[in-house]
Amino acid sequence: MKYTIINIPKITDIRGNLGVIEKDTIPFDIKRVYYLFDVPSSAYRGGHAHINQVEVLIALSGSFDVKVDDGTEVSLITLNKPDKGLMLNKGVWRELENFSSGAICLVLASDVFDESDYIRDFEVFKKRFS
C-alpha cells in the first residue's frame, strides 16, 4: 500500500481540542520533524520520492492537496484536519499543492535528512518503482 490515513487521537472539551502523538500513534520511530508554512497557493512542494524513508504529513492548519504516485496508480488526497495524518511509504512520489492561506504541513519522518535517500527525477523513479 502506498499510503495510509492515520487517526491522531484527540481529547475534546469545552476549551478546545488537543491532538496527541505518542507511543504507537505513528508506526515508526520519529527521527526528524519539520514543517512547511507560508507556501504560496500557486507553489508546490515535494516533487520527490524516498528510497527508504517513511513520512507522516499532517495539516496542522488550513489545507493542501497531496498527489501520490506509486508508479502504477495516482491518488489525490486533501489534508485539512489536524487529527488525520497521511503516512507515505517508501517508494512513493509525492507533490504537495493547492495550499490554503495559513496552511501548515507538519512532517514526521522515520530518518534524518539524507540526500542519497531522495529520488528527484520522476523518470528515474518510474524505472525503479514501476
Q: What is the pLDDT of residues 12-66, one digit of tens each?
A: 999 999 999 998 999 999 999 999 999 998 999 999 999 999 999 999 999 999 9
Confidence at 1, pLDDT banded by 50, 70, 90: low
- Evaluate whether 117 touches 50 at the Cβ level (below 8 Å): yes
Range of the domain at 92: 3-129
| pLDDT (tens digit per residue) in 83-108 | 999 999 999 999 999 999 999 999 99
Domain count, the chain: 1
Asked whether residue 130 carries a pLDDT value surpassing 90, the answer given is: no
Q: Which residue has the cell 525503479?
A: 128
Catalytic residue among 19, 21, 30, 48: 48
Q: In the predicted model, what is the mean pLDDT of residues 101-120?
A: 97
| C-alpha torsion sign, points 35, 55, 85, 47 | positive
> Is 50 annotated in the active site?
no
Comparing CA positions, the residue from 103, 97, 95, 93 lying closest to residue 35 is 103
Cell numbers placing 100: 490554503
Q: In the predicted model, what is the mean pLDDT of residues 106-117?
A: 98
pLDDT value, residue 129: 84
What CATH number is attached to the domain comprising 107? 2.60.120.10
Cell numbers placing 35: 514543517
